[in-house]
Amino acid sequence: MTDLSLGGDAPDCADGNGVWLACVECGAALAPFDDVVYRCPDCDGLLEARYADYPTFDEFDGSGVWRYADALPFEEGVTIQEGDTPLYEVPDVAAAADVADVRVKHEGMNPTGSFKDRGMTVGVRVAAELGVGRLACASTGNTSAALAAYGARADTPVLVLLPAGKVAAGKVAQAALHGARICEVDGNFDDCLDVVAELADRGEAYLLNSLNPFRLEGQKTIAFEILEQSRAATGEWPDRIVLPVGNAGNTAALYKAFRELVAAGEMSESEMPTLTGVQAEGAAPMVEAVEAGRDHVERWDHVETRATAIRIGNPVNAPKALPGIYGTGGTAVAVSDDQITEAQRMLAGDGVGVEPASAASVAGLLELRERGVVAADEQVVCLTTGHLLKDPDAAAEAGGDTTAVPADADGVLDALAD
């Protein structure tokens, strides 16, 4: 039975700041920084960071991810000024969605262009605490770009495993320039994760995929920002947060933020925004699980979508994320690649440039409005997870064509008249 309850006294193994790791399956408690550990040594369950105290909004101070230091395992980390991303109004999307309010939390505005930076600023700080010599991840691209940058900043070597031929150009370029060792694997993302997890188990590298519980601590700050920004903008918290799902790390992280706010007495369970996950039709094991009401996901061996960031068949954080969807009264929905492209164009029409996986959130909102699952009186926030420039090929394909013209004004005007 998954146990995500917070609170209670800190166990003896907690560190001086009242931080420990708990297994979400068997409840075992572990010292946070004595050994390198990713899963429960007893039952192989996922681990979660726990704290003796959970802060209220009053205790947050400063800006960016480290504004929320009281909810994180350290006071500061390896930072490139991540977080503090905009919550945009999006008139075209609002008109199409026809709900009380819709805004876009654009995580593409982070230093390396995706939300992964929030996880890395914390995760790479933990790696320094543990004194590891090499950082590693499997990636559909954005994790590798972020880890490469934060590893470079921390002067720690980085190894990334990418599914060969399936990572968008901008992301590979980032990992290359920031100096990561890039291995292209003959397999999909899930195969890459299997391999890098084995390398980590053998002590060859410190794993910074979202299986690492400290990464999700950083990503939790997305929820804190959405709640603070929404309240500042509309006076209320959103009813619903719609987000793309790959490994389901963000779904798990957002739910953890809500649970902590409940533990701190800031939020009632009924005030938790409903977590609504969106996957591409060709890679939708979470949607399949939610539609069947299951508490586990069955791995898809063959996955395909234009939204390569979420081309994932085995969402490792499902045991934490499914309770988040069920516990907030949320749902999950699959959208086609065409719907994703349409939503990407619609966001672009609002001046917001996102990569395909990000547009899945808006596509999912529109699909659920159409089905009557999302009601007209709802205030909704869609999470857009990565920047347009991450995947320039997809952007160029979704966008308009270029016109060849001679180098004179009349020639340009002639071409425009055609």
Question: How many C-beta atoms lie closer than 10 Å to residue 393's C-beta?
Answer: 10
String marking each residue 83-122 x if it binds ligand F0G according to CB under 6 A: -------------------------------x-x------
Which residues, other chains included, contact 402 with Cβ-Cβ below 8 Å and sequence gap of 6+?
none
Which of 247, 276, 341, 344 touches ligand F0G (CB under 6 A)? 247
Which of 85, 142, 230, 276 touches ligand F0G (CB under 6 A)? 142
Q: Are 405 and 156 contacting, i.e. CB atoms less than 8 angstroms apart?
A: no
Which of 110, 221, 314, 358 touches ligand F0G (CB under 6 A)? 358
Q: Which is nearer to ligand F0G, 127 or 321 (CB)?
A: 321
Residue 299: name the closest of 162, 189, 166, 163 by CA. Answer: 189
Q: Which is nearer to ligand F0G, 124 or 248 (CB)?
A: 248
- Which letter does DSSP use for residue 387 in this model? B
- Which residue has 């990561």 as its token pair? 180
String marking each residue 312-351 x if it binds ligand F0G according to CB under 6 A: ----------------------------------------
Q: Coil, strand, or helix at residue 212?
A: coil
| Minimum gap (Å) between residue 13 Cβ and ligand F0G | 28
| DSSP helix, strand, coil percent of the chain (3-state; round to 5) | 45, 15, 40
Task: Select from 93-101, 246-254, 259-267, 366-374 the region that touches ligand F0G (CB under 6 A).
Answer: 246-254
Task: Select from 13-21, 82-90, 221-229, 245-253 the region that touches ligand F0G (CB under 6 A).
Answer: 245-253
> How many CA atoms, within 13 angstroms, populate the side-chain half-sphere of residue 151?
29
Q: Which is nearer to ligand F0G, 117 or 378 (CB)?
A: 117
Task: Select from 31-39, 243-251, 266-274, 332-340 the region that touches ligand F0G (CB under 6 A).
Answer: 243-251
String marking each residue 376-405 x if it binds ligand F0G according to CB under 6 A: ---------xx-------------------
- How many residues make contact with ligand F0G (CB under 6 A)? 22
- Measure Cα distances from 415 to 105, 319, 387, 396 in Å: 39, 57, 32, 20
Could you tell me if residue 179 is left (phi over 0), alpha (psi between -120 and 50 degrees) or otherwise beta?
Answer: left
Sign of the Cα torsion 123, 44, 298, 318 reads negative
| Minimum gap (Å) between residue 62 Cβ and ligand F0G | 25
Which of 124, 168, 357, 395 touches ligand F0G (CB under 6 A)? 357
Q: Pinpoint the alpha helices (H) of 142-280.
A: 142-153, 169-177, 189-201, 213-219, 221-234, 249-263
Which of 309, 363, 381, 389 touches ligand F0G (CB under 6 A)? 309
Q: Are 107 and 249 contacting, i.e. CB atoms less than 8 angstroms apart?
A: no
Which of 200, 310, 347, 388 touches ligand F0G (CB under 6 A)? 310
Q: Which is nearer to ligand F0G, 339 or 358 (CB)?
A: 358
Q: Does 139 bind ligand F0G (CB under 6 A)?
A: yes
Q: Are 337 and 282 contacting, i.e. CB atoms less than 8 angstroms apart?
A: yes
Burial 212-239 (b: 16+ CB within 10 A, else e): bbbbbbbbbbbbbbbbbbbeeeeeebbb
Q: Does 140 bind ligand F0G (CB under 6 A)?
A: yes
Q: Does 221 bind ligand F0G (CB under 6 A)?
A: no
Q: In what order do the strands lie in the sheet with 135-138?
A: 181-185, 158-163, 135-138, 206-207
Q: Which is nearer to ligand F0G, 45 or 108 (CB)?
A: 108
Which of 85, 112, 143, 344 touches ligand F0G (CB under 6 A)? 143
Q: Which residues bind ligand F0G (CB under 6 A)?
A: 114, 116, 139-143, 210, 244-250, 309-310, 355, 357-358, 385-386
